[in-house]
Amino acid sequence: MPSITVGKENSGNIDLYYEDHGSGKPVVLIHGYPLSGASWEKQVPVLLDAGHRVITYDRRGFGKSSQPTTGYNCDTFAEDLHKLVTQLELRDFTLVGFSMGCGEVARYLGKYGSKGVSKAVIISGVPPFLLKTPDNPEGVDGSVFEGIKKAIVADRYAFFTDFFKNFYNTDLLLGKRVSEQAVQVSWNIAVGSSAAASLACVPTWHEDFRNDLSRVDVPTLVIHGDADRILPIAASGLRTAKLIKGARLLVVKDGPHCIIWTHAEQVNGGLLEFLGKDKETLKQPKAHVR
């Protein structure tokens, strides 16, 4: 099982499980909460068929990676990602984040710059800043996140059941764009995550990524569903696209949060088109696509 060591906790190593397939220009896929790299199964074969090298990995605390009780903040997540791309000696690679994974994309580019990075994709992302503050009135009241933390502490298994209802908009899409079995698999992966990580990751959702986004200087595609109940598009995707110079915006009509599953065809089409364009072509005003 391929893994890299990114740190230590007492007597044990902190290892990240990853998969590295194909050849060509690398694409690094960074999963959302509370899933794992396996959640990209509708994207990996499409990217491989298009001639890309595809790397997925499990964030610390999730999937097949180690489950420490430390390091659950976006600076550490970005550092873990940096160690992965450095060890794999990636060049001219694209960073693709989904949901919480977009925090890694933003913080990586804000902290380490774009050396070696050719493009970035933010899908249903947490940036730019979800917490309501005096200078961020569009954000969500902090009591909402405290309520989520209390629900996780009380019964994280029940919390995940409710969470995935809005993750997939099951009241509208179950049996149409997502099956009961697919939702169950997501739940299974979620409950296999570290209890510490399940709780500690919540504050990372509302870290401030505005400065990170201002430093992004690679072609960027923002993809978001206009029916996202986890991260409403007005508070996240639309603002992110405005804050990244020259970003392109793809809005998925009726798309819930997990559009990488429910609307994989639209997401994959936008992704492949974007990856097929060079930097010069993308130096143009934002495009709003429906």
CATH at 19: 3.40.50.1820
The pLDDT-based confidence of 78 (bands split at 50, 70, 90) is: very high
Residue the block writes with tokens 């405290």: 146
In this structure, of 26-40, 126-140, 266-280, the range with the lowest mean pLDDT score is 266-280
Mean pLDDT of the region 189-206: 97
Confidence (pTM): 0.94
Q: Report yes or no: 183 and 256 within 8 Å, Cβ to Cβ.
A: no
Cα separation, 174 vs 180, whole angstroms:
7
Q: In what order do the strands lie in the sheet with 3-9?
A: 3-9, 12-21, 53-57, 26-30, 93-98, 117-123, 220-225, 248-252, 288-289
Domain of residue 137 covers 3-289
Cα separation, 178 vs 168, whole angstroms:
7
Q: What is the enclosing helix (H) or strand (E) of 151?
A: helix 142-168
Q: Which residues are catalytic?
A: 99, 228, 257
Q: Provide the number of structural domains found in the chain.
A: 1
pLDDT one-digit tens code per residue, 130-150: 999 999 998 889 999 999 999
pLDDT one-digit tens code per residue, 225-241: 999 999 999 999 999 99
Listed residue (26, 27, 7, 24) closest to 16, CA to CA: 7
Q: Determine what percent of the chain is predicted with pLDDT higher than 70.
A: 95
